[in-house]
């Protein structure tokens, strides 16, 4: 360009900096509609050459939102779906590139859901606002799965069905949560009640707290569920003691404890399946 105009290279550089600054709305360079950046000796000085194209500057078939509208959400990759949530990228990476970086660093949506806003914000280009958007979207998905599983009237036929019901809710919990499933006479779910949060103790899962909900809602039987954040569902001595007390109280009140299921990572433990609830049939 300097040779063509007869201007000094330094002046041409200043012009390029002025007109090719990476600001909102730049779509082309001053040197032509199809610049030959690869052959241009001034490319290192050109801000347009250095910048990353914005999503909306890409062809329609490369924009995640337009692809979703045209082909449906299932046609999109994980990174494209996440890019729609992030909305914008940085001067160095598009929203898709930023999404790919997040997924690559943390290993998928499950791992992202387990991270805090502060942890996600430490990724370059994310920040608290984008991290909050990601967390909100993942939480919506978790609640949708939980609500779909916990529809009143669902029949709990065995410990696996109990696990399938509670796993979406408990899988990423960092604290122990003790849940009581209230059942009708045909072992259909009336409702679920969270009794306590925190390290499971006899006081947090006291029979009074557990069975008061069963009496209030006229339950015919109950199933207790709690999670082990360690991922190991094997019962502790404390779990066994609490189960024994709940089992005894249920007999006195004629509201039997059909099972106590401990939820771990990809596995569960059932007191009924293990034969530790004498006199009670497993759900079914």
Residues 202, 242: contact at Cβ < 8 Å?
yes
* 121-139: pLDDT as tens digits: 998 899 999 999 999 999 8
Sign of CA dihedral 213, 217, 220, 223: negative
* 242-263: pLDDT as tens digits: 999 999 999 999 999 999 999 9
Q: DSSP secondary-structure letter at 46?
A: -
Q: What angle do CA 243, 247, 249 make, to 5 degrees?
A: 120
Please state the pTM of the whole predicted model: 0.59
State the pLDDT confidence band at 3, using cuts at 50, 70 and 90: confident
Statement: residue 175 has pLDDT above 80: yes
- Compute CA 50 distance to the chain's CA centroid, rounded to the nearest angstrom: 35
Per CATH, the number for 153-270 is 3.40.140.10
State the pLDDT confidence band at 62, using cuts at 50, 70 and 90: confident
Mean pLDDT of 85-91: 87
**Any idea where the domains of the chain sit in the sequence?**
2-50, 55-147, 153-270
**Tokens matching residue 58:** 């890409």
By C-alpha distance, which of 223, 168, 169 is closest to 191? 223
Strand-pairing partners, residue 192, are: 181
Residues 177, 197: contact at Cβ < 8 Å?
yes
How many CA atoms lie within 13 Å of 31's alpha carbon, on the beta-carbon side?
24
Residue 238 belongs to what H/E stretch? helix 237-253
What is the rounded CA–CA span in Å between residue 42 and residue 46?
A: 6
Residues 80, 67: contact at Cβ < 8 Å?
yes
Per CATH, the number for 55-147 is 1.10.150
State the pLDDT confidence band at 25, using cuts at 50, 70 and 90: very low
Q: What is the mean pLDDT of the chain?
A: 82
Other Cβ atoms closer than 10 A to 21: 11
Residue 194 CB contacts under 8 Å (≥ 6 apart), including other chains: 177, 178, 179
What is the rounded CA–CA span in Å between residue 45 and residue 42?
A: 5
Residue in the block written with tokens 């259909």: 188
């Amino acid at each position: 360009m300097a040779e063509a105009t007869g201007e000094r290279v330094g002046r041409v550089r200043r012009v390029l900096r002025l007109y090719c600054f990476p600001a909102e709305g730049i779509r082309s360079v001053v040197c032509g509609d199809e610049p030959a950046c690869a052959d241009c000796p001034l490319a290192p000085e050109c801000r347009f050459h250095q910048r990353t194209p914005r999503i909306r500057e890409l062809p329609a078939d490369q924009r995640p939102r337009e692809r979703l509208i045209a082909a449906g959400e299932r046609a999109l990759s994980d990174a494209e779906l996440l890019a729609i949530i992030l909305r914008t990228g940085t001067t160095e990476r598009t929203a898709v590139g930023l999404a790919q970086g997040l997924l690559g660093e943390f290993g998928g949506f499950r791992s992202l859901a387990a991270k805090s806003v502060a942890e996600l914000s430490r990724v370059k280009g994310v920040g608290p606002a984008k991290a909050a958007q990601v967390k909100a979207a993942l939480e919506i998905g978790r609640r949708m799965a939980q609500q779909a599983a916990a529809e009143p009237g669902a029949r709990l036929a065995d410990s696996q069905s109990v696990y399938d019901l509670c796993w979406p809710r408990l899988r990423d919990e960092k604290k122990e949560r003790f849940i009581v499933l209230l059942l009708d006479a045909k072992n259909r779910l009336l409702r679920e009640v969270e009794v306590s949060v925190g390290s499971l103790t006899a006081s947090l899962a006291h029979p009074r707290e557990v069975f008061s909900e069963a009496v209030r809602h006229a339950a015919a039987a109950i199933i207790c569920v709690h999670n082990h954040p360690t991922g190991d569902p094997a019962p502790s001595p404390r779990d066994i003691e609490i189960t024994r007390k709940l089992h005894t109280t249920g007999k006195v009140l004629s509201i039997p404890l059909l099972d106590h299921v401990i939820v771990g990572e990809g596995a569960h433990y059932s007191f009924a399946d293990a034969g530790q609830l004498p006199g009670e049939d497993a759900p079914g």
